[in-house]
C-alpha cells in the first residue's frame, strides 16, 4: 500500500525533488495548504510520515497521527517540533545538518558588510532621489575590528574563516576546542560582549538559549557594536533590542530571523536606518534547497524501509517499546 507523507509547509516553489525521492519508495505527498494547527490535525490521521519546514508540529498534531513513524525536519533546528512527545509516541525524528553552512556564513558576512558600509541608509537616500550627501555617519573599516561569535559550530567556524580573510580579530564564546582554529575564546557571554564590535549569533534555540540577548546583554555591549542574528529569532528579546537601539546602547542590528516572525508590518525595527532585515532566507540557494529537499525526503524513505536515518535526533526512541518501526530498526 502506498505510504502517505504529509508536507506541512515548504519555502521553495515546488516539491519535485521530494516527489521523485518518495515515489521510488512507493510513497506519495499530502501537501498542506495553510499549515495551521487545525488543518494539520485533520490531515495527520492517515499519514506514515511528516515533513516539516517552519510550521509548528506540536503534540496535538502528533497525537492525531496514529500511523506516523517519523517526523523529518527540513533544516537543522527542532524548535518547531515537539520532539519529546514524538519520542513518547515512538516516532523517529530527523533533521538535515550542514546543508547550508556556506549560505548562512555568506549571508552573515553580507549583513556585516551592509552595516559597515551603511548600505540601507545610502540605498534609501539614492532611491528617494538623493546622492548620499545628507546621510549622516561614516562607513567603517572592518580590518582590525573584533568579531564576537556566540556559538562555534560549522556555521560559526565558516564565518570566522571569512572574517579572518579581511583581517578581523575573532573571539568566540566556547569553553574549549576553538584555539586550534586560531580563534580566541572566552568562557562568559559578558566577556565577549565587552570586547566585540560585531556580535554574531550561531546557536540553536533551546530553553537555555531563549532570550539570551536580553536587556542586560545589550547593556553589556559596546555602544558602537552591532548585533547580527542569522540563527533563531527567539535568541533575541525583540523589545529589549528596540529599546537598546533607541537608547544608543548599540549601534545597529542585522536580523535574518526575528521574534515574532514575521515582524508586524508597522513594527519600528522595519523602518530604522540602523537595522538590516531579511526574511529568514540565509539558508536558501539553488544548491542548498535542492540538497535539503533530497536529504529530508531520504530520511523519510529510510524510516519507511525500516532503517535508521543518518541524522536521527532522538536515538533513545530506538529502544523504546513504543517504536513504530517494522522490521526492527537497524543501522
Query: How many angstroms from the chain centroid is the CA of residue 137?
Result: 32
Contact 300, 51 (CB under 8 A): yes
Domains 3-99+285-319 and 101-277 share a fold: yes
pTM of structure: 0.88
Q: Is the CATH number of domain 3-99+285-319 3.40.50.720?
A: yes
> Which band of pLDDT confidence, cut at 50, 70 and 90, is reported for residue 326?
low
Do residues 144 and 119 make contact, with C-beta atoms less than 8 angstroms apart?
Answer: no
pLDDT value of residue 290:
94
What are the pLDDT digits (tens) for 267-303?
999 999 999 999 999 999 999 999 999 999 999 999 9
pLDDT band at 330 (very low <50, low <70, confident <90, very high): very low
Residue 177 confidence (pLDDT): 56
All structural domains of the chain with their residue ranges: 3-99+285-319, 101-277
d(CA 39, CA 260): 22
pLDDT digits (tens, 9 = 90+) for 148-183: 999 999 999 999 999 999 999 999 997 665 555 678
Of residues 85, 169, 267, 280, which has the active-site annotation?
A: 280
| Dist. CA 5–CA 154, nearest whole Å | 30
Question: Which member of 39, 88, 184, 261 is catalytic?
Answer: 261
Q: Flag whether pLDDT at 218 surpasses 70.
A: yes
276: three-class secondary structure by DSSP:
strand
pLDDT tops 60 at residue 329: no
* Long-range contacts of residues 221-225, Cβ cutoff 8 Å, at least 24 apart: 221/193, 221/196, 221/249, 221/250, 222/193, 222/194, 222/195, 222/196, 222/197, 222/250, 223/248, 223/249, 223/250, 223/251, 224/197, 224/251, 225/193, 225/196, 225/197, 225/198, 225/199, 225/250, 225/251
Q: Residue 182's pLDDT is what? A: 73
Write the DSSP string, 212-251.
-B-HHHHHHS-TT-EEEE-S-GGGB-HHHHHHHHHHTSSS
Residue pLDDT, tens place only, 82-92: 999 999 999 99
DSSP state letters, 106-140 = HHHHHHHHHHHTTHHHHHHHHHTT--STT--S---
Interior angle at CA 59, CA 41 and CA 61, nearest 5 = 15
Cell of 84: 519529546
Q: Residue 283 and residue 158: Cα distance in Å, rounded? A: 14
Q: Is 261 a catalytic residue?
A: yes
Query: For residue 46, what is its C-alpha cell?
Result: 492517515
Which pLDDT score, from 0 to 100, does residue 9 have? Answer: 97
Active site residue 103: no
Per the structure block, which three cell numbers stand in for 169? 580579530
The 3-state DSSP class for residue 286 equals: helix
By C-alpha distance, which of 282, 271, 209, 283 is closest to 246? 271
Catalytic residue check, 232: yes
What's the mean per-residue pLDDT of the chain? Answer: 94
Sequence length of the chain is 331
Of 157, 174, 232, 295, catalytic:
232
Kindly report the CATH class assigned to 101-277: alpha beta
Amino acid at each position: 500500500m502506498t505510504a502517505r507523507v504529509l508536507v506541512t509547509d515548504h519555502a521553495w516553489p515546488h516539491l519535485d525533488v521530494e516527489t521523485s525521492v518518495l515515489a521510488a519508495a512507493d510513497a506519495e505527498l499530502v501537501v498542506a495548504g495553510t499549515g495551521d494547527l487545525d488543518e494539520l490535525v485533520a490531515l495527520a490521521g492517515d499519514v506514515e510520515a511528516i515533513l516539516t519546514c517552519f510550521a509548528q508540529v506540536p503534540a496535538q498534531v502528533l497525537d492525531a497521527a496514529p500511523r506516523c513513524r517519523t517526523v523529518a525536519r527540513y533544516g537543522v533546528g527542532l524548535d518547531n517540533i515537539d520532539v519529546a512527545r514524538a519520542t513518547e509516541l515512538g516516532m523517529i525524528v530527523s533533521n538535515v545538518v550542514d546543508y547550508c553552512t556556506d549560505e548562512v556564513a555568506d549571508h552573515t558576512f553580507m549583513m556585516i558588510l551592509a552595516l559597515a558600509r551603511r548600505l540601507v541608509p545610502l540605498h534609501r537616500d539614492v532611491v528617494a532621489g538623493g546622492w548620499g550627501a545628507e546621510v549622516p555617519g561614516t562607513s567603517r573599516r572592518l580590518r582590525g575590528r573584533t568579531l564576537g561569535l556566540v556559538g562555534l559550530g560549522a556555521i560559526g567556524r565558516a564565518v570566522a574563516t571569512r572574517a579572518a580573510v579581511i583581517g578581523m580579530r575573532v573571539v568566540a564564546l566556547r569553553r574549549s576546542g576553538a584555539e586550534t582554529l586560531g580563534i580566541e575564546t572566552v568562557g562568559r557571554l559578558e566577556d565577549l560582549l565587552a570586547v566585540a564590535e560585531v556580535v554574531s549569533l550561531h546557536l540553536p534555540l533551546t530553553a537555555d538559549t531563549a532570550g539570551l540577548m536580553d536587556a542586560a546583554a545589550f547593556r553589556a555591549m559596546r555602544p558602537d557594536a552591532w548585533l547580527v542574528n542569522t540563527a533563531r529569532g527567539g535568541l533575541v528579546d525583540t523589545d529589549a533590542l528596540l529599546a537598546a537601539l533607541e537608547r544608543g546602547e548599540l549601534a545597529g542590528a542585522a536580523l535574518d530571523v526575528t521574534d515574532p516572525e514575521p515582524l508586524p508590518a508597522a513594527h519600528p525595527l522595519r523602518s530604522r536606518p540602523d537595522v538590516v532585515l531579511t526574511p529568514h532566507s540565509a539558508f536558501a540557494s539553488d544548491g542548498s534547497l535542492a540538497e535539503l529537499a533530497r536529504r529530508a525526503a531520504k530520511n523519510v524513505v529510510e524510516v519507511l524501509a525500516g532503517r535508521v536515518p543518518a541524522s536521527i535526533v532522538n536515538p533513545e526512541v530506538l529502544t523504546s517499546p513504543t517504536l513504530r518501526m517494522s522490521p526492527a530498526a537497524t543501522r
